[in-house]
Amino acid sequence: MNDFKSKFILSAFLFLAVAFSQPKFNFILGTGYYNPKIETSDPIPKIGFVGKNLLLNWGMRYQIYPNVRIGYAQSHSLHFGTIGGSRYRRNISYRAFSFETFYYLKEKMELNFTLSPMLNKGSITITAEAPTDDWDSLLSTYGNSSVNLKTGSSMTKSWLGFSSHVGFRYYFSRLLSVEGKLGYFMSSYSEKNWKLEGEKVTGPLMEIGRLPVLQVNLVVGI
């Protein structure tokens, strides 16, 4: 009987320790605000708040030490519209590999600091139901000569960057919290050397070298 009680107490202790300990995995979903300057000359669709200033965030972090997390996150800037008879879609994907330290101000309040090297990617896609000159119309805006393309194609480019943030997290429970982050995206972007159908072309002029960024995220822990 004593042996049974010892095993029961040990099992209960281990269960409670796991149940009430800080989650190791954090999954993040949220939004952000920044203010880049992006080329919008005709025939590029007019860009509004959603395509210019709004970021959509998702990511994951893992706690490797009592006050250290590593993780991966993406923030997307999206722009949709039409060029002639074709559908236009532009996506800037800010991809961060993060190192985060955190400290508890009070029981439910956390202050954190994040440094992140970034490998960012831009893509512009035009799709149509029939052969079209809309690619030529877009590319001439960036100073390119005419090209011979299929009805659906994408131009892409990758570049390096860096970000740093200071954040505040409030815990509703051990599994659910909300956080705000304020910091910078720093980027080495150039409009040269985008890739389209294996050829190098000039892409959009974007001033995204150093941008203040505000993010608000919902965090779920497991």
Per-residue pLDDT of the chain in tens (222 residues, 90 and over written 9):
556 555 555 454 444 334 344 678 999 999 999 999 998 888 888 888 888 999 999 999 999 999 999 999 999 999 999 988 888 999 999 999 999 999 999 989 999 999 999 999 999 998 865 555 666 777 778 777 655 555 568 899 999 999 999 999 999 998 999 999 999 999 999 999 999 888 899 999 999 999 999 999 999 998
As a whole number of angstroms, the distance between CA 218 and CA 176 comes to: 8
Q: How many CB atoms lie within 10 A of CB 8?
A: 10
C-alpha angle 93-99-103 in degrees, rounded to nearest 5? 125
- Cβ atoms of 70 and 59 within 8 Å: the answer is no
In-domain check, residue 36: yes
Predicted pLDDT at 15:
42
Count of domains in the chain? 1
In-domain check, residue 14: no
- Cβ atoms of 61 and 100 within 8 Å: the answer is yes
In-domain check, residue 137: yes
In-domain check, residue 6: no
Predicted pLDDT at 13:
43
Q: Find tokens 């029961």 and name the residue.
A: 8
Predicted pLDDT at 146:
59
In-domain check, residue 198: yes
The amino acid sitting at 178 is: V
Predicted pLDDT at 197:
83
- Cβ atoms of 56 and 74 within 8 Å: the answer is no
CA distances from 199 to 134, 145, 154 (A): 18, 12, 11
Range of the domain at 64: 23-221
Rounded to two decimals, what is the model's pTM?
Answer: 0.82
C-alpha angle 89-92-98 in degrees, rounded to nearest 5? 150
Predicted pLDDT at 207:
94
Predicted pLDDT at 115:
98
- Residues 6+ positions from 11 with CB-CB distance below 8 Å: none
The amino acid sitting at 198 is: G
In-domain check, residue 2: no
Predicted pLDDT at 131:
53
Residue 38's SS3 state is strand
CATH number, residue 78 = 2.40.160.20
Give 114's DSSP letter: E
Phi-psi region of 143 (alpha: psi -120 to 50; beta: other; left: phi over 0): left
Q: Find tokens 């815990």 and name the residue.
A: 171
Instruction: Return the beta strands (E) in the chain as ranges.
Output: 25-33, 37-38, 54-65, 68-83, 86-106, 109-127, 152-171, 176-187, 194-196, 199-201, 206-207, 210-221
